[in-house]
Amino acid sequence: MSNQFIRRVAALRAAMHQSGLDSVLLNPGPSMPYLSGLHFHISERPVILCLPANGEASIIVPELEAQKLNHASFALEAFTYSEDVSSWQAAFTAGLARLASMGARRVGIEPRSLRVLELRFLEGALPQISLVSCEGAMASLRAKKDSSELDLMQEAVRMAQDALKATLPHVKVGVSEREIAGRLIANLLAEGSGGELPFQPIIAFGANSANPHAMPTDYQAKKGDLILFDWGANHQGYFSDLTRTFALGQPSEKLRLIHDTVRASNEAGRNASRPGVPAGAVDDASRKTITDAGFGEYFTHRTGHGLGLEVHEEPYMRAGNDQLLEPGMTFTVEPGIYLPGEGGVRIEDDMVITKDGARSLSTYPRELQILPA
């Protein structure tokens, strides 16, 4: 096992002992490759990785995916099943027999990932267990990125920024949001992004940019429109998530004002980010700038969210969140102002907490850029 995975599994087991957990059971999702190096997709065939607090780990997989286990970062006892659905429960019972024999009672799971499909097989194999959420322990491990993870995220940012640069020359009067979304996705892939993007890019022109989670439509850009891009790339499973807002030709003074306000809010949130500060303080700083400018009611979401193997993870930059920021934590700062029927502005950067402050992984200019109409 590499030193990286040794540290991660040891940290999880320490958290398990502290929480009184006999084991952690993981199905496909970000935590599985984080701990084991194994990648499986959620499908109709269940997969469960069993990491006991003590002893050898085991995994339950379909026969057709057993070869993937050659790439596991540590020794695993494999229990496979065939296409015969009636054999699946026997594989779960055999794979979890050691937990049953040791009298395991409290077992950690990730409730947002575990499906009823796996749950029923677990209940059949371990009828006496109590399933307890281990999401807090997993989040505390994954929230603090090491240097290798930060390198992957930095490259995901580079891919995203370069893909945007290649796309902007195609934004002209008469081009549709859908067409620009297609070009951006093609450019992301050309820059080396994994095909599983963090999310489908949000490309919103004109009044559509006032919808924070707009979907690309056939709306065609007009002179004076705001042009909002919210997009990201995937580098070896680690994501970037950025937003920039442009204008196609000269915007109205009101739209220019909200862009200036959001840019100041983004800067305030970035400047408030440092070790020992509650995550909520980042939201407070960004929100105060927008509220003081008279647009508070039009900032309708939290300031940011954690980022890494998931596009939304701990920590969350929202009001009242007392979680203290620590070196290695990565998250977005993305304030916005959304004026219904007129347009919206969001400026989003990917941040990492350092020993004595914070650093933005993203460097694309935040000033209002006027695209030629």
What DSSP string runs through 107-159? EEE-TTT--HHHHHHHHHH-TT-EEEE-HHHHHHHHHB--HHHHHHHHHHHHH
Q: Residue 73: what pLDDT?
A: 84
Which of residues 142, 158, 186 is at a domain's end?
A: 142
Q: Are residues 151 and 113 in the same domain?
A: no
Q: How confident is the model at residue 4 (pLDDT cuts 50, 70, 90)?
A: confident
| Residues contacting 365, CB < 8 A, separation 6+ | none
One domain, residues 154 and 210: yes
Task: Give the residue from 123, 142, 161 where a domain finishes.
Answer: 142
- Residue 137 and residue 50 in one domain: yes
- Clarify whether residues 170 and 204 are in a common domain: yes
Q: What is the pLDDT, as a whole number, of residue 371? A: 98
Task: Among 142, 172, 202, give the residue marking a domain's end.
Answer: 142
Mean pLDDT of 23-43: 94
Q: Kindly state whether residues 278 and 330 are assigned to the same domain.
A: yes
For residues 83 and 137, membership in a common domain is answered with yes
Tell me the pLDDT band of 104, cut-offs 50, 70 and 90. confident
Sign of CA dihedral 154, 34, 109, 28: positive
Domain match, 108 and 226 both: no
Q: What is the pLDDT of residues 128-179, one digit of tens each?
A: 889 999 998 999 999 999 999 999 999 999 999 999 999 999 999 999 999 9
Nearest by Cα to 330 from 262, 259, 273, 251? 273
Instruction: Compute the distance between CA of residue 337 and CA of residue 105 in angstroms, rounded to an integer.
Output: 49
> Based on the domain organization, do 46 and 82 belong to the same domain?
yes
Q: What is the CATH number of the domain that holds 81?
A: 3.40.350.10
Above 60 in pLDDT, residue 99? Answer: yes
Q: How confident is the model at residue 71 (pLDDT cuts 50, 70, 90)?
A: confident
**pLDDT tens-place string over residues 331-349:** 999 999 999 999 999 999 9
Could you give the percent of the chain with pLDDT greater than 70? 99
The pLDDT of residue 101 is above 90: no
**Interatomic CA distance for residues 168 and 229, integer angstroms:** 10
pLDDT given at position 6: 87
189-215 tens-digit pLDDT: 999 999 999 999 999 999 999 999 999
Q: How far is CA 209 from CA 290, 309, 346, in A?
A: 18, 27, 9
Same structural domain, 288 and 325 = yes
The number of folded domains in the chain is: 2
Mean pLDDT of 115-134: 94
Of the pLDDT bands very low, low, confident and very high (cuts 50, 70, 90), residue 1 is low
Structural domain of residue 115, as residue ranges? Answer: 3-142
254: part of which helix (H) or strand (E)? helix 253-271
Tell me the pLDDT tens digit for each residue of 215-271: 999 999 999 999 999 999 999 999 999 999 999 999 999 999 999 999 999 999 999
| Lowest mean pLDDT, pick from 61-75, 283-297, 306-320, 328-342 | 61-75
Task: Verify that 100 and 246 share a domain, yes or no.
Answer: no
Q: What is the CATH number of the domain that holds 295?
A: 3.90.230.10
Other residues' Cβ atoms within 10 Å of the Cβ of residue 355: 8
- Quote the mean pLDDT of the chain: 96
- Are residues 356 and 337 part of one domain? yes
Task: Give residue 255's pLDDT.
Answer: 98
Q: Do 308 and 246 belong to one domain? A: yes
Question: Does 84 score more than 80 pLDDT?
Answer: yes
Rounded CA-CA distance 48/117 in Å is 11
Residue 98 has pLDDT above 80, yes or no: yes
Cis peptide before 315 (omega within 30 of 0): yes
